[in-house]
Structure 1
Amino acid sequence: MKKETLSPEAMDRILSKNQHSTNDIRKNVVTMRVTDEINQALEGLVSLSVAQSRSEVAYMLIIEGLKARTDLFNQISKRSEEIEKIKNELKQVISDFGQLK
């Protein structure tokens, strides 16, 4: 299975939404552990009605993190594509070498 990276196009789609609400289609679950301090911060934002759940607050914070580091994710995506191209070239070299024997 090919590892997917966040392409610039996907990043644009994520960040172009005007509002990220509970109406967004979110079908993937990500389980994570957080420190007590982070959990308290999430709970605090829920208690202030910033969001309805810790999960929703975490989602909002992830979006903000992606917005803040778009440049980094674009560089990662570009490098990942270059690495994938080199891997494919190496596979071809190995395949060609095997055919010479």
Structure 2
Amino acid sequence: MTHQDNPKNQSSATAGSESSSPLEDIGNQVEKLAAKTADSIRRVIDKALASRNTVLTIRVNDECNQKLNMLVEAGLFRSRSESAAFLIQEGIKSQRSLFDKIAGKLKKIDQIREELKEIVNQEISSRDQK
């Protein structure tokens, strides 16, 4: 009886040609996961960029330009403008506590300005009454 005549060897030979190796299975799973992740990222980005309605012209250095181009070349964004808008939005989100502090200080500045206007108006009014 030859190697191929043995029913055990035939089934294992057939199984080997029909099934993939564990490494190939892992590779396929990684590819599927990467595709799902890319789709998920794309949906988040599209949602974030859908509400853009202000045009802003900016100048960037060569390094920033290269990074923006990388995001476009990777297929994550359709343009450098989309890349920049996304990165700006993410930067603002990551610095939320800083912007909260700035907003609080600006509110105080507005209150002080109003107080100064009142002081000036009172001084002008008191002079006019004399």
Question: Could you state the TM-score of these two structures normalised by the residue count of structure 1?
Answer: 0.77
Q: Percent identity?
A: 36
Paired position in structure 2 for 1:47: 73
Distance 1:67 1:28 in 2: 18
Question: Could you state the TM-score of these two structures normalised by the residue count of structure 2?
Answer: 0.60
Distance 1:47 1:35 in 2: 18
**How far did residue 19 of structure 1 move?**
2.9
**Any idea what SS the aligned residue of 1:19 has?**
helix
Instruction: Trace 1:49-68 onto structure 2 (pairs within 5 A).
Output: 49-68=75-94
Residue of structure 1 aligned with 2:51, choices 25, 29, 36: 25
Q: CA RMSD in A?
A: 1.7
Aligned pairs, number: 84
Structure 1 or 2: more helix by fraction: 2
Q: Which has the larger radius of gyration?
A: 2
| Greater RCO (CA < 8 Å, at least 6 residues apart) | 1
Q: Which runs of 4+ in 1 moved over 2 A?
A: none
